[in-house]
Amino acid sequence: MKKPAKKSEPPVPIKALHVGSGDPLLLLHGFMLSPHCWTQTANRLAAQCEVFAPAFAGHWGGAPGDGWSTDIYTLADRIEDQLDEMGWRTCHIAGNSLGGWVGIELARRGRARTLTLIAPAGGWNAPSLTQFRVGLKFLAMVPIIEIGKRVGGFVKHNPVTHRLTKLLLVKNSGAVSRTDMTAVIEAALHCQAMLPLIMGTFRAPALSDLSDLPTPVRLLLAESDHIIPNRVYARRYLKELPDSADRILMHRVGHVPMLEAPDRIATLIAEHVYASRGHLRAI
């Protein structure tokens, strides 16, 4: 008689993923996400690196936020405190979306050995229509999240919710497990920093000129990014990053490519880390 399939355990909040040994590597997640989105990539990198992927303050699994308005500088302060506690004066940094923006700030503070930016946010001038537009895009999600909190389990496990979320975040929906998508939805529903960060985005100054970043940079853009499309939000990165920076367009992936292409992301990060050791190339 065939045994019934084992039910997967529901995702739980994670303060930080901390796996592996080797070069120190910090992985930073995007807005309204959590360390869960890095799980598969972190496990692939753990053979070569000591990987630390913390939850941002005000996000699912993270420490409480900082009031009604916050910004990337406050988030960077909190991450710096964690790096200090671990004894990591410098480390390799890879950040997705908001995590990329915070990674740039950490690099400016001298904490990055290398910096890998994955569909990074923040590539707008301030004040500008582009800045206002991205704030409004996330502000429009607030009522949806509030309704989701009230209906709880129905939203977390509903196939329609999963499908709509995948359409926003990834290109190949079949490559993302149900457990990973449940974790994404849980993180969004438990993001206390949602409104404070949106308000902070409206008020935040523009990124400083990117041409003087003091660390080797690799820019990874997602071809099918529906959250911050490249044609608008990648212009400053493409124009201002140093000529020495890698600029790579990843085909057939969406805004959070770690969910659908963890092997590719792990290889691209590892390759950049290895290059800093003396021009070794990962294959």
Residue with tokens 């990117």: 210
Neighbours of 283 (CB within 10 A): 5
In this structure, are residues 199 and 139 in contact, taking their beta carbons and an 8 Å threshold? no
Residue with tokens 């999963």: 162
- List residues with catalytic annotation: 97, 225, 255
Which residues, at least 6 apart from 133, have a Cβ–Cβ distance to it below 8 Å? none
Ordered strands of the 217-222 beta sheet: 16-19, 49-54, 23-28, 91-96, 112-118, 217-222, 246-250
Nearest to 117 by CA among 225, 252, 279, 278: 225
Record the tokens describing residue 155, joined without a space.
């939203």
Angle, alpha carbons 213-215-217 (nearest 5°): 85
C-alpha dist (Å) from residue 173 to 69, 84, 117, 131: 34, 38, 23, 29
For 94, phi and psi rounded to 5 degrees? -130, 130
Neighbours of 135 (CB within 10 A): 19
Angle, alpha carbons 111-65-36 (nearest 5°): 70
H or E element, residue 104: helix 98-108
